[in-house]
Structure 1
Amino acid sequence: MTERNRLYLKQEFKDGERPNGEDFSDLLDSFLNLEDDGMSLDLDSNLTLSRGIKLGNSDSTIPGTLRFNGVTVEFFDGTSWTQLGGGSSVFQAIGAAGGVAYAAGNVGIGDFSAAEPTHRFEVNLGANASVSERVRFGNVVCSNGNGGAAGDAFIYHQAFDSSSSYALRQRSSGELRINSISTQRIRFVQDGNKDRMTITKNGNVVIGAANDIDATGATVFQVNGSAGKNDGDTLWSLISDARVKKDIRDLDLGLAELKHIRPVRYQYTGAAGTVKDLECIGVIGQEIEKFIPETIKKINLDKISDKNSFGDLRVYNGSALIYVLINSVKELAVMLEKQNEKITALNNKGLK
């Protein structure tokens, strides 16, 4: 293309001048040619270039103007210059500075200057000292721990971000913790809302219900329904080593107390967490506590959710009754031995 400027060419082609062949050549070279310069126009008059465009810097305030400011490609939107890309734009190849990195189809957020992201989407986080070190998806927040727990993984609701109010926490060893704040329960459900197990706010484990079922919140393990075990034993195993016991005394309850126990059939009313109309066999708490009070525990009415004017609610535990029965059998055995001795003595005298 000619190096002659327009002012020179205008002088050569003004009226009365006689431009020579070189002038005409310079004139033609001053125009862009679609074929010679590798350009084309489509049906909508859009210009296509076979090679790139070199941009310089500009202070133009005409909307739509492009410029390269030496670092970034920008366009003027009518109000200000806006970054398009290049230089220190947000997406950067591995090894360059920037907020977002990409490599082999993987995208990373954070500093990946040392190594490329290995997951489809990866966020580098530090210790959870502030919200800037957390990732949020709607109400779900993910983060590392803080301090000594910086190597742990945490998941929690955005409203809770302390080391004691998380939902899930897994340590690098693989240990998993499921957590709730102290005033809320942890529910394990099936099919959306069918309660299978609950850890109540009192710290009790309840099978088959969403809340404490003993009306007190004092029983650590509760089962809403039947329970079974398959080891062939009907009782739970207890520690019974003499080395862990003190103030050992003989039990003074036996046959005299056992004779006062009245076994009954009954149905529950549904009050105080009972199953309404459930048919059972057992005892009446107010009756058995008169003779074997160790089998009855009284519950403070203020802790009962339905507050149905019971006074102190009686809860029965029949474990002690086993040992009362043992004493009763021993008493009967002594009585039987004495009777046998009398019978033997009478037989020896020839009396029947």
Structure 2
Amino acid sequence: MRIESGGNVGVGTTSPYAKLSVVGQTVAEYFTATSTTATSTIAGGLTVDSNTLVVDYSTNRVGIGTTSPDAPLQIMASNDPNQIGLHVTSPDTDGSVILLTGGGVGARDYWIFSSGSANAIGAGKLSLGVDGSTAIAIDSSGQVGIGTGSPGAQLDLSTDSARKLTTTTWTTGSDVRIKTNIQSIGDGLDIISRVRPVKFNYTPEFLAAHPSAQDVDYYNFIAQEYQQVFPDSVSTSTDGLLYLNSSNMIPYAIAGIKELDQRTAGFNSIYSSTSTPAMYIDALGNIGVGTTSPAYKLHVLGDIAAQSFVNISTSDSKKDISYIGESENEDALNKIKNINIARYRYLNEDENAPLRLGLIAEESPPEILSVSGKGVDIYKLSTFILAGVKQQQKQIENLNLKISDLQARVSGLNGASYDSNSLFALFLDWLKDKIVAVKELAVGSQDKPTGITLYDKATGKPYCLEIVNGAPVSTPGECDSIQINTSVAASPVLPPDTSAFAEASADKEPPVIIIRGNNPAEIQVGTTYGDLGASATDNIDGDISNLIRTFLNGVLVEVVQIDTSTTSTSTVEYAVSDKAGNAATSSRQVIVN
């Protein structure tokens, strides 16, 4: 030991360089430095116990729990189950930080490894925990678990929850330069239809083994079923369970949507290899068959075959109902007579196609056209024809009544010895009533036979009445010439004296018609008119009310129907004849105001 004059003490050395310089091992219970400005250097290394702390100056390594550190700092637990290798405790107000930094400028790689054997990277699991529970676990195969310490996939989340703060889009490498064997998906709907979406709950056993799972409804697919359609998208986890990747359903779903869009824009026939649409529905809901530009709710280019076509016609499916009157029926009949029937082919038909028979819209009455005016509405046409047929039937009935009246008159003259179906019977009746001073009447001669020109009371047109082979014949137009030889007598001309004629000629009194109700009859606009009719009695035949014929504005009708939607004046006429041919008429005025 040496003590120098400056106060330095040397042990094992004659030249102490510090207050105490020891060459060799030094044993002491404590080393305490009290000066805040002291700077101390321990050269040659430092050892605290055999395994507590070793500073190896030759390798610049520090070992805690080991005397041979293999890294700048190596911490080794002395015995099991002491698992804590590094414990960092922060003050109450600050957090704990483990900071990894590089010594130079530029990017560096930083590693945290889990090793199952000394001095090597081996099997094991690295876990990060928060509040005593595992938050992130990385196993030896590289599988990462979040919220679970036993990841079963490359990334295993304990709950069905993941998000990105600014967007929900997750990206994947999809550059065409990294892909090959690219094929379009064209059977999306077919693939989707083979996958069964399900709602389910996890079993109690699974929930017990996975505490992070919740007992709620989940929505997904069955892996075994999904595997039949997408075998490459189902894998077996380390726990032996099947897991599926449903992301590949997205391209097929998009393909299916595109297919539905094409079917909505134009239905393609699934029974044909052609791409031409067999059926088309436009944005207005118009359906085209054989055409992609339907102009009507159902537009068909071609013939249609069906057992029946039904037009909805119940009263509860209609509104603003009104009925057409006699004048409109007559107008329909007149227009029907002027409709031209055409033969034609459609523009899309071949020249050798058979000619069609129908109407031309531009030449047809507007009442039978479609709303657009470009087509003939078959239902309107049939109804329009029905209106004309009704009017024609009334005209026929009117003619039949007139013929019956003529028959009755001729029968009263001479026992129906004349042809009552011709105008000759009317002519004889006229002679009976009007010619009272002619003894003999000759028209024409044997050498120059001719006829008599008569004018139709209804139309004013001339007719030539002639005798041909003993029978009267009426021909439209005037006779060429008439030669009449007459001889005046002092008494009316009578047929041969027969009892039948004597009885008929004895009855000269016409029937009496009594109109029921008001005459004139006044009703308000919009009020339904019901005609009360009339009664008729004859001095010989008695009550002949059943023989009364009713005319509305000169047209024979069965039921009086007056249009009361607007102001008008109509005439209802009642006519009757007795068996002797005596006729009577009476009329009523119907005023709508």
Match of 1:179 among 106, 110, 113: 113
For 2:297 and 2:214, the matched residues in 1 are separated by 63
How far the C-alpha of 1:266 sits from its partner, in A, is 0.8
Matched-pair contact (CA < 8 Å) for 2:2–2:11? yes
- In the TM superposition, what is the alpha-carbon distance from 1:173 to its structure 2 partner? 2.3
Q: Percent identity?
A: 19
- Structure 1 Cα separation of the partners of residues 17 and 147 of structure 2: 54
Deviation, 1:122, is 11
Alignment of 1:327 onto 2:267: no
Aligned pair partner of 1:200 in 139, 147, 155: 139
Give matches, 1:98-177, under 5 Å: 98=23, 104-105=37-38, 107-111=40-44, 125-127=57-59, 134-136=62-64, 139=65, 145=71, 153-157=72-76, 173=103, 176-177=110-111
Gaps spanning 5+ residues in structure 2: where?
4-8, 46-52, 80-84, 87-97, 116-121, 268-278, 282-286, 300-593
Residues 92/195 of structure 1: CA separation in 2 closer, same or farther (3 Å cut): farther
SS in 1 for 2:199: strand
Q: Deviations over 1:282-330 (max 9, x none)?
A: 1112223323434x31316xx32xx6xxxxx321111111111111111
CA distance in 2, matches of 1:141, 1:188: 28
After superposition, the Cα gap between the structure-2 partners of 1:171 and 1:351, relative to the gap in structure 1 and judged at 3 Å, is closer
**1:285 aligned to 2:230?**
no
State the distance in 2 between where 1:267 and 1:292 align: 23
Q: Closer, same or farther in 2 for the Cα pair 1:140/1:276, shift >3 Å?
A: farther
Quote the offset at 1:127 in angstroms.
Answer: 1.8
2:299 equivalent to 1:299: no
Corresponding residue SS for 2:229: coil
Greater gyration radius: 2
Kindly provide the amino acid, as one letter, of the partner of residue 334 in structure 1. Q
Contact 2:63 2:74 in 1 (8 A): no
- Is 1:347 the counterpart of 2:294 in the alignment? yes
Equivalent position of 2:12 in the other structure: 88
**1:87 CA drift (Å):** 1.4
Q: Which segment is superposed worse, 280-289 or 219-228?
A: 219-228
Q: Deviations over 1:243-279 (max 9, x none)?
A: 1111112235410121233222111124396536343
Distance 1:322 1:141, change over 3 A: farther
Coordinate RMSD, CA, aligned: 4.3
Aligned to 2:531: none
The Cα offsets for residues 219-258 of structure 1, whole Å up to 9 and x where unpaired, read as 3222222433334433311111111111112235410121
Name the structure 1 match of 2:182. Answer: 248
| CA distance in structure 1 between the partners assigned to 2:166 and 2:235 by the alignment | 32
Distance 2:20 2:180 in 1: 72
The answer to whether the 8 A contact 1:143-1:154 is kept is: yes
Q: Work out the CA distance in 2 between the residues paired with 1:183 and 1:169.
A: 26
Q: Is the CA contact (8 Å cut-off) linking 1:108 and 1:124 kept in structure 2?
A: no
Q: Say whether 1:222 aligns with 2:156.
A: yes
Instruction: Classify the secondary structure of the residue corresponding to 2:156.
Output: strand
Q: Is the 8 A contact 2:44 2:57 kept in 1?
A: no
Tell me, yes or no, if the aligned pair for 1:109 and 1:124 is still in contact at 8 Å: no
SS of 1:265's equivalent? strand
Check conservation: 1:206, 1:222, Cα contact below 8 A: yes
Which deviations, in whole Å up to 9, do the C-alpha atoms of 1:163-205 show, x marking residues without a partner?
xxx98996752865322202221121123x3111122222222
1:258–1:328: 8 Å Cα contact kept in structure 2?
A: yes
* CA 1:144–1:170: 2 relative to 1, 3 Å: farther
| Distance of 1:124 and 1:93 partners within structure 2 | 23
Query: Which residue does the alignment assign to 1:261?
Result: 195
CA contact (8 A) 1:142 1:156 kept: no
Taking the aligned partners of 1:194 and 1:350, their CA distance within structure 2 comes to: 68
Contact 1:199–1:206, Cα closer than 8 Å, also in 2: yes
Deviation at 1:126, TM superposition (A): 3.1
Query: Does residue 315 of structure 1 match 2:315?
Result: no
